[in-house]
Chains A and B, each alone.
Chain A
Amino acid sequence: MHEASLVAALVEQVIALKEEKGAQRITSLRVRIGEFAGVEVEAFRFAYEALKEKVPELRESVLEIEIVPGRLRCRDCETLFEGDYFTPCPRCQNFNREILSGEELELRQVEMEV
């Protein structure tokens, strides 16, 4: 259940931005989560909904989650392909790959009322 810790970090980050901009409250936030970042999206959402009740500035906010698909590149033949940790290069069948996306865990956008 590290989703709760991730959400706590997210809330801290958002509140810091709110203070910095002198905003009143947060209306929406967009988070990017990689397909194989090891985050259970439903648990993440649940943790957010639970926490936002305790933070007045977030109470009206909407959480949007964007799932980032896993993209890889073979280090030997440069082939680009989709997949996860267990997908070999479709051309040379080996696992010497670079992960281009799919491990993201980031706050993308915040909308607030000032």
Chain B
Amino acid sequence: MCETCGCGQRKITLTVGEALLSENERWAQKNRAWFKKRQVKVINLIGSPGAGKTSLIEATARLWNQGKIAVIEGDPETQRDAERLSALGLPVAAVTTGGVCHLDARMVHQAFHQLVETDPHLLFIENVGNLLCPADFDLGEDLSVVVLSVTEGEDKPEKYPQAFRRAQVLVLTKIDLLPYVDFSLDRCLSLARQINPSLKVLPLSLKTGEGLSDWLEFLRS
């Protein structure tokens, strides 16, 4: 009973202990089961705007000969990246998040409905350009890949540890620019491995093609 006025209301206290993102987690599990059933390998690309996520997908699609690729493209406002990838003949589901800074598992679920008929073997999810927020959202992917360009600076693992902690792979892009920027590869990798000792690192340049074969080989395995 409400002690003040006797109005018949009473208070109850519930102990919950549920993750704030448990609803996202449920969708992610659903996605994971669906992807497995369709035998599609799913890669979540996380990186800042301009790190080279779209270019990495383009380069991979040009050289890939192991089955079909499809892309879920997250973009806060435009569909420009989706158009870039469609131009290569790839099936693309564009998710315009309306300013939201990350994709969540439910958005990915809805987007995959548009792609499932194309029967892809490899599905890239290009997350919204942002090294911070996407790290909290499991999408049901098989592999989480951080794409970091050397022009962004070697301290990024220290500033955005969550993304590096979640990832299995770090793709370091634009390494052709290493002679022109203050970027210590050793320092960057040492920071990244403090957070995630088993992180696999693949340095590459999409401009010169250096390191690209290692990335492709990694995807095949």
Contact = CB atoms under 8 A, between A and B. Distances in A.
A2 B23 contact: no
B133 A114 contact: no
Interface string B113-133: 000000000000000000011
Contacts of A88: 194
A109 B16 contact: yes
B16 A17 contact: yes
Interface string A94-105: 011000000001
A112 B158 CA distance: 41
Contact of B15 (A10, A13, A27, A108): A108
A105 B12 contact: no
B101 A112 contact: no
Given A2-B102, A17-B16, A105-B21, A86 B158 contact: yes
B14 A5 contact: no
A85 B21 contact: no
Contacts of B24: 9
Given A9-B24, A21-B12, A106 B18 contact: yes
B221 interface: no
B205 interface: no
Given A2-B136, A88-B194, A96-B197, A111 B19 contact: no
A109 B15 contact: yes
A105 B132 contact: no
B197 A95 contact: yes
Contacts of A13: 16, 18, 20, 22-23
A31 B162 CA distance: 20
B132 A107 contact: no
B13 A109 contact: yes
Listed residue (B2, B20, B23, B158) with the most chain A CB atoms within 10 angstroms of its CB:
B20
B9 A106 contact: no
Question: 9 closest Cβ contacts across the A-B interface?
Answer: A2-B133, A38-B162, A85-B161, A85-B195, A95-B194, A105-B20, A111-B13, A107-B16, A110-B14
Interface of A: 1-2, 5-6, 9-10, 12-13, 17, 21, 23-24, 27, 31, 36-38, 84-86, 88, 95-96, 105-114
29 contacts: A1-B133, A2-B101, A2-B102, A2-B132, A5-B100, A5-B133, A9-B23, A13-B18, A23-B12, A27-B11, A36-B161, A38-B135, A85-B194, A86-B194, A88-B194, A95-B194, A96-B197, A105-B19, A106-B17, A106-B20, A109-B15, A110-B13, A110-B16, A111-B13, A112-B11, A113-B2, A113-B10, A114-B9, A114-B10
